[in-house]
Amino acid sequence: MRPSSLSISRAAVASLACASALAFASDARAVEISNLSVFLDGGNTPNLFQDIGPIGSQISSSVGILNSSLTQFSTRYQAGVYTDAGGAGAASNVITLNASYTISFDVTDAIGSAWQLDIDTSRIGARTSITDGGGQSAFSLGAASGLLGGATLTSGSLGLAAIARSQQGNSVNFAFNQTDSAVVNGTGNGTVTLVFAFSATAETLVNGNAGDEAAIRMGIPETLSSFLAGAYPGAGGRTAANDGHFVDLTLLDLGPIPEPDTALMLGIGLLMLAGWRRRETRRS
């Protein structure tokens, strides 16, 4: 019987299927992180240091990369908010750090690939006061927010809850350790940005020319004279390097996204191979 013009040899079908599979697999790449940077935004409160007169105030902050690789990094925002008042002319004092910083990086070698970011955030430190007169102290932390650009938040959160204002007339040390996790997805090459912001307020409340020391410790020791609440290790025996706002991120390569032509080519090859096998079975 004369072969049909539509028939195809087993070798040809297998070759087509193999070529399709190879074309599909060739899209797989090692997705990587590059051009990582972290920096304070314009809205971050400038450093403040006042250590002369009846009121002492200090606001300090900085941000940096702790470690990084092609698929992972960790960053830390560290800060300290400290105030005290005493002596003639002393008055209540309220100081606030508005924290604001950005993490930016590129996801590269990802043309045609899907990827995932597993992100853990934490805010760790202590609210500490030392009573040294008839006054009081107070402190609070605003909710931490996280804004994402260049990808899609799939689950979880980049934010952390507010810590309500506490006012007291005695020495206290209230530690905090907040954590949350998020899953972010994206495709292809692109730039991802993470913007974090929160507030931290410390208050010395004067009564009889004296207010208590108030400190929010998040990794930067105080340098004010005659001030103990912001020291490390200080109350609770804290380690400065362990306090701050931390971001830990891991990049996962989810593999190539089939291009329409490649997927169609693969499907045709597999269908033709299946048809050839059915014909061979009938002949046998």
Q: Three-class SS of residue 112?
A: coil
Residue with tokens 């960790």: 74
pLDDT tens track for 206-255: 998 889 999 999 999 999 998 999 999 999 999 999 999 999 999 999 99
More confident residue, 11 or 241: 241
How many angstroms separate the CA atoms of 238 and 174, rounded? Answer: 12
DSSP string, 118-135: EEEEEEEEEEEEE--SS-
Q: Using the predicted structure, report yes or no on whether residue 130 has a pLDDT greater than 90.
A: yes
Closest CA to 204 of 227, 231, 220, 232: 227
pLDDT band at 88 (very low <50, low <70, confident <90, very high): confident
The per-residue pLDDT for 103 is 98
How many angstroms separate the CA atoms of 123 and 175, rounded? Answer: 11
What are the extents of the domains in the chain?
A: 10-25+259-283, 32-256
The per-residue pLDDT for 208 is 83
The per-residue pLDDT for 115 is 96
The per-residue pLDDT for 89 is 81
Q: Three-class SS of residue 19?
A: helix
Q: Using the predicted structure, report yes or no on whether residue 12 has a pLDDT greater than 80.
A: no
Write down the pTM of the prediction: 0.82
The per-residue pLDDT for 209 is 84
The residues pairing with 202 across neighbouring beta strands, listed in sequence order, are 95, 139
Q: Using the predicted structure, report yes or no on whether residue 32 has a pLDDT greater than 50.
A: yes
Residue with tokens 């955030």: 121
